[in-house]
Structure 1
Amino acid sequence: MAKRIEARNLNIYYGKFLAVADVDFTIAPRSVTAFIGPSGCGKSTVLRTINRMHEVIAGASVQGELLLDGEDIYGAGVDPVNVRRTIGMVFQRPNPFPTMSVYDNVAAGLKLQASRPKRAELDEVVEKSLRAANLWDEVKDRLDKPGAGLSGGQQQRLCIARAIAVEPQVLLMDEPCSALDPISTLAIEDLIQSLKQTYTIVIVTHNMQQAARVSERTAFFNLAGVGKPGQLVEIDDTQKIFSNPSQRRTEDYISGRFG
């Protein structure tokens, strides 16, 4: 079941440095939300905060609330490992496990679970996940071959298959197409459109045309000033952000006057 995400007065720190300040947003289930903005404005930092990857960095911390269907994922007693199982992540560069086969890459997360599935169950999940990632027909005859031997676009879809194999409810994507060619990028964008029927998806992208193509809502982040924290300037329906934004700073960025 896809989840609703809410940030309330979210402040994100690296040590004592406030990197992103006072972020508030709501993301609906089974939708695609794009985070856009210039480099260094905090959009990837906010993305990593949504599945508690930010705190892996030494000295990093978060204040405020980040709610998943009303439950604060930073609340006392919440296991970050369970959070990351519920909220999957796909990174900028494809990162299949280089020594593992295509099959074992997809099954990796399942094998870490307390109740390890039987081989027949693994076979079923691996095929289902690869089909969902629109990769099955391309790799079904080479499941035992190294995942790192696939093309860049195939590797990224393999990483998506690996992320959805453990049945998350949210899928975060940090510039998933930045290292890919146009044909592979189109394949990932088509895949995002089919995956949103099942998952809540948040994508960070520097490509504004991509944000316009794949998302229903867009959040624009910017720096408050040199040496100041990033901030969420506005979040709204994607069509409105790109045609009639509420804030002048958004319009300046969209029109190419800066960034």
Structure 2
Amino acid sequence: MSIQVNNLNAWYGDFHAIRDINLDIKDKQVTALIGPSGCGKSTFIRTINRMHEVIEGARVTGEIIVDGQNIYDTNIDPVSVRHRIGMVFQKPNPFPTMSIYDNVIAGLRLNGTKDKKILDEKVETSLIQANLWDEVKDRLNKNAMGLSGGQQQRLCIARTLAVEPDVILMDEPTSALDPISTLRVEELVHSLKDKYTIIIVTHNMQQAARVSDKTAFFLNGELIEYDDTVKIFSNPKNQKTEDYITGRFG
């Protein structure tokens, strides 16, 4: 599902966090957001599933058009937006008192799904999609906190997939993981783009180059450059982009 961002601005109280963002995100591609800490990357993706506005004093102006409709129209339910646009956070956040099975289907149960056969099938298919099924199929009723950090993050991805979103947002999903777990999540991102539009925030330039089709460079709340990832990393148009990716600042 494509996303069109028009003149987007976001504030935390009086702080103007992102300014006049215009961006067309392509369907079934991976878009990486890069830039130094505090440049607005995480704020930007939180506007895409309307999580920014849950913070006291936060507000948004502009448009985000998803499937032909502005998700900030007054008649749009933010909860329905978050069902269609899933979020994977920086640190794995499985529900600590729940089993692996119950973690995967938490969203489905919240939506009112009770049929055991449907839930069983969704657990298996979501864990297979998240490349976790073979590792956990014999302990689905065990507490999710018994998994490793990398497994917990893939479980959170499976939980996101279970509600069948159109878009998956990932806010530095591997920053808390070891190199092997990071590689597995990157492989997972690559495999999922056949079905989903994925936006990933990362501080890792090599990761952005490996996993994404498009890259957007943010600086001081502004979108400096947006292009094919290969072009951004080999021949950026803006000097600020080149300075950042070559390590001159950030």
Q: Does structure 1 residue 258 correspond to structure 2 residue 238?
A: no
Work out the percentage of aligned pairs sharing the same amino acid: 67
Q: Distance in 2 between the 1:132 and 1:39 partners?
A: 31
Residue 132 of structure 2 corresponds to which residue in structure 1? Answer: 135
Provide, for residues 197-251 of structure 1, a one-character-per-residue CA deviation record: whole Å limited to 9, x for no partner: 000000000000000000000000001xxxxxx1000100000000111100000
Aligned to 1:60: 58
Name segments (4+ residues, structure 1) moved above 6 Å: none
Correspondence for 2:25? 27
Segments of 5+ residues of structure 2 without an aligned counterpart are none
For residues 56-205 of structure 1, the aligned pairs below 5 Å read 56-114=54-112, 116-205=113-202
The normalised TM-score by structure 2 is 0.99
Q: In the alignment, residue 113 of structure 1 is paired with which amino acid?
A: N
- For residues 120-155 of structure 1, the C-alpha deviation after alignment (integer angstroms, 9 at most, x for no partner) is 110000000000000000000000000111000000
3-state secondary structure, aligned to 1:172 = strand
Report the AA paired with residue 82 of structure 1. Answer: S
Q: How far apart, CA to CA, are the structure 1 residues paired with 2:86 and 2:155?
A: 13
TM-score, normalisation: structure 1:
0.96
Corresponding position: 1:242 with 2:233: yes
| Corresponding position of 1:231 | 222
Paired amino acid for 1:18: H
- What SS is found at the alignment partner of 2:119? helix
- Code of the residue aligned with 2:37 in structure 1: it is S
Instruction: Give the superposition deviation at 1:18.
Output: 1.1
Taking the aligned partners of 1:70 and 1:249, their CA distance within structure 2 comes to 33
Cα distance in 2 for partners of 1:82, 1:104 equals 21
The DSSP-based 3-state class of the residue aligned with 1:21 is strand
Secondary structure of the residue that 2:141 maps to in structure 1?
coil
CA deviations over 1:101-138 (Å, ceiling 9, x no partner) = 00000010000114x23011100000000000000000
Gap runs ≥5 in structure 1: 224-229
Q: For 1:79 and 1:188, how far apart are their aligned partners in 2? A: 31
CA distance in 2, matches of 1:123, 1:10: 41
Query: C-alpha root-mean-square deviation of aligned residues, in Å?
Result: 0.6
CA-CA distance at 1:69 after TM superposition: 1.8
Q: Distance in 2 between matches of 1:194 and 1:59?
A: 38
Q: How far did 1:70 drift? A: 1.9
Given residue 110 of structure 2, which amino acid in structure 1 is its aligned partner? L
The CA distance in 1 between the partners of 2:67 and 2:140, in whole Å, is 37
In the alignment of these two chains, the number of paired residues is 250
